[in-house]
Chain A
Amino acid sequence: MRGTVVSWLLAAPLALVLAVFLVVPLVVLVAVSFYDYDSFRLIPDFVFTNYIEVFGSPVTWRTYAKTFWFAGITWAITLMLGFWIAYYLAFVVEGTGRRTLLFLLCTIPFWTSNLIRMIAWVPFLGRNGLLNQALLGAGVIDQPLEFLLFSDFAVVLAFVHLYTLFMVVPIFNTMMRIDRQLIEAAVDAGADFWRVLRHVIIPLCKPGIAIGSIFVIVLVMGDFVTVRLMSGGQSASVGLMISNQISLLQYPAAAANAVVLLAVVLLMVAAILRAIDIRKEL
């Protein structure tokens, strides 16, 4: 009996924090998504206008399609890069010191703010940027490449630059837990490099891959800064759509959009978790 009380008490602070800072705001979010509004006021009500507008607008569908597209491409590239970087760190690099050093290198993209990074991309990728000048100088191109900056390419590049680490860390973690003898056992049984990868390393990295994928997909699905800055405002994402609505005080529309986005992202996460059991990692 006393034990029960104590465990309730121990769980209470977190439950309270979650209730106040997660559950209540979510409930408010859902409630507001049914409000009406005009250009300067929220009108408490229970209308479906916001949802009708969300689902009825071709912009929503196009924006979701674009956001999925960004998420898909970014996921595929960060997975490829992240997997091999993690592989290199886990299986090729020897010594904790070197590993730590290389890990630190991986965090370089996080050393500056988004705005500074974006400003830094301009002189690198811009029309008169270093890359274009180098390519022009080398005679590879005779016109500056315009797609390097303020384009979907630039958006994906920035995403990959930022989020690969989120893929590397969980995959690296699972790789470090793989008993090295398993690989020897596979080799002993006649597996070559690719078959060791396919039959041993990848199956055992699945939880890490799932966690990394959740990170990347959730981050990209909710992003609004990178898309705006790197596309020069020319591409849309769901987050950007919501952020625009918030800045125009269209809270109910933003809330409805946010509820839909939340549901979509939760479904994606659920799908990933259904496909791969990550409990071993937790």
Chain B
Amino acid sequence: MKDQSLPGRTSLTRRGALALAGAAVGSGAVTGFPTIWAQNIRNITLRQAGTGVSGLNAIAEQCKKDTGITLQLTVMDTDALAQRAATQPRSFDIADIEYMTTKKVYPVGTMQAIERRRITHADKIVPIFTTGRLTPASAIAQGTAPHTVGFVANRLATAFEPSQTEWMTLIPTIYNADTLGIRPDLINRPITNWKDLVDPAFRGKASIVNVPNIGIMDAAMVMESAGQAPYADKGNMTRAEIDRTTAFLIDLKRQGHFRAFWKTFDESVNLMASGEVIIQSMWSPAVAAVRSRGIACTYQPLAEGYRAWGGGLGIARHVSGLQLDAAYEYLNWYLSGWTGAYLNRQGYYSAVLETAKAQMSPAEWDFWMEGKPAATDILAPDGRVMERAGAVRDGGSFTERMGKVACWNSVMNEERYMVQKWNEFIAA
């Protein structure tokens, strides 16, 4: 995910700052955690660098209320975040990054591993993040699956371990399964497969994301769906596969199949809302943003499955002492339920389902996580009605979605070559 400016972010930030100030004044009344550090931790500020997806002020406010820790959020896009994490490690204490970014950034040595035994709910983390399988029966998806970059040998190690260890690179926090967004009002046939993106009927009305490592995977999904030779690993292509994929894209581009390529959240929303594009790769909050303008937009589940992404919190290497304790406090709080429920209610998924469930009403849980029709009106975090009773969310239940991940957002070994070829496609 990458997103600099979700709609309404500015006003949220202002309100958030006010609320934060209020919380700080009233924090004397809040019961802290029963550790000897609690009183000191209350005064600690953690600087968190992350993307707009999870850099939410509501979380910072709640964190202040519950733990006394002040979270200072800096929000930037995925690429800038990766740069920051790799090159300016002292500018943040907590990195809120994607697993695919971790593959790039962690080996630089700017982060420290998280000790598993200090994470209260470590054992309850969804197994996708530990074994790569949602259920013991499910297959491991292609791409940079989180569990492959989730563990290292010791606190300062920079090489990933193939299986679970006591040292985690990130505490998983938020994840989702991405697919195509469509304008059902402008498309009068069912969309069922990734290959529908390149249906000539949609010539000049389709778009894909212009982030090379994500866009090329969407293209690979399309090509496999269209019956071309399958990839060994869509998230880690060979040069030949890269050539094949970009040649396919260039051909489409020359035919005028794409109306545009988008790079930011707002661009994807505008393309869709204006009707310039009626089918494109999309992120779930962007679909929600189009819908919130009263324009029909569906996040369409497809037969071949989803392209998933996941993010988590990591600790910068320079953090130590009391601040490190506060960081652990914060990570534990993150998994303790409130945040999980908060994220689940936005259509994302949280890493520890049990604690999140305890904070959600049964109707909410059934709607968001079980994919059942809403028993009552479903409210947005700000109290507005988001979905009427009876509505069903796109994409079905948690198990249906996360059980059908075809590949994870990834960084390829041939990234340098892939980016060159991608640029060739854009320049074509």
Q: Do chains A and B touch in the complex (CB under 8 A)?
A: yes
Binding site for B on A (CB under 8 A): 38-41, 53, 57-59, 62-63, 66, 115, 119, 122-123, 126-129, 146, 149-150, 228-229, 231-236, 240-241, 244-250, 253
> How many Å from the CB of A118 to the closest CB on chain B?
8
> How many Å from the CB of B282 to the closest CB on chain A?
15
Q: Is B29 an interface residue (CB 8 A)?
A: no
Residue numbers in B under 8 Å from A232 (CB-CB): 207, 258-262, 271
Whether A233 lies near B261 (C-beta < 8 A) is yes
Number of A-B contacts (CB under 8 A): 100
> How many Å from the CB of B52 to the closest CB on chain A?
15
Partner of B86, one of A123, A126, A127, A249: A249
> How many Å from the CB of B258 to the closest CB on chain A?
7
Give the nearest-CB partner of B415 in chain A: A39
Whether B274 lies near A249 (C-beta < 8 A) is no
Whether A150 lies near B260 (C-beta < 8 A) is yes
Whether B104 lies near A40 (C-beta < 8 A) is yes
Whether A146 lies near B416 (C-beta < 8 A) is no
Whether A63 lies near B427 (C-beta < 8 A) is yes
Task: State the CA gap A57–B260 with chains docked (Å).
Answer: 24
Give the nearest-CB partner of A61 in chain B: B427
> How many Å from the CB of A58 to the closest CB on chain B?
8
Partner of B274, one of A58, A128, A240: A128
Whether A234 lies near B108 (C-beta < 8 A) is no
Give the nearest-CB partner of A228 in chain B: B263
Task: State the CA gap A39–B414 with chains docked (Å).
Answer: 9
Give the nearest-CB partner of A233 in chain B: B261
Whether A126 lies near B427 (C-beta < 8 A) is no
Whether A248 lies near B212 (C-beta < 8 A) is yes
Whether B86 lies near A250 (C-beta < 8 A) is no
Task: State the CA gap A148–B378 with chains docked (Å).
Answer: 41
> How many Å from the CB of A65 to the closest CB on chain B?
9
Whether A127 lies near B426 (C-beta < 8 A) is no
Task: State the CA gap A115–B267 with chains docked (Å).
Answer: 9
Interface membership of chain B positions 274-315, coded 1 if the CB is closer than 8 angstroms to chain A and 0 otherwise:
111000000000000000000000000000000000000000
Once A40-B86, A62-B427, A249-B104 are accepted as A-B contacts, the answer to whether A234 and B260 lie under 8 Å apart by CB is yes
Dominant SS among interface residues on chain B: helix
Whether B423 lies near A241 (C-beta < 8 A) is yes
> How many Å from the CB of A114 to the closest CB on chain B?
12
B75-83, B132-140, B383-391: which lies at the A interface? B75-83
Interface centre among B80, B210, B276, B428, by most chain A C-beta atoms within 10 angstroms, is B276
Q: Is B323 an interface residue (CB 8 A)?
A: no
Given A40-B108, A59-B423, A115-B266, 10 more A-B residue pairs with CB atoms under 8 Å apart are: A53-B420, A59-B424, A62-B427, A231-B260, A235-B426, A236-B423, A247-B79, A247-B80, A248-B419, A249-B104
> How many Å from the CB of A266 to the closest CB on chain B?
23
Whether A236 lies near B426 (C-beta < 8 A) is yes
Task: State the CA gap A149–B271 with chains docked (Å).
Answer: 11
> How many Å from the CB of B215 to the closest CB on chain A?
10
Whether A234 lies near B86 (C-beta < 8 A) is no
Residue numbers in B under 8 Å from A128 (CB-CB): 274-275
Whether A123 lies near B210 (C-beta < 8 A) is no
Partner of B420, one of A41, A57, A228: A57
Residue numbers in B under 8 Å from A57 (CB-CB): 420, 424
Give the nearest-CB partner of B109 in chain A: A41
Whether B276 lies near A149 (C-beta < 8 A) is yes
Give the nearest-CB partner of A58 in chain B: B424
Q: Is B270 an interface residue (CB 8 A)?
A: yes
Whether A245 lies near B419 (C-beta < 8 A) is yes
Give the nearest-CB partner of B253 in chain A: A234
Whether B420 lies near A126 (C-beta < 8 A) is no
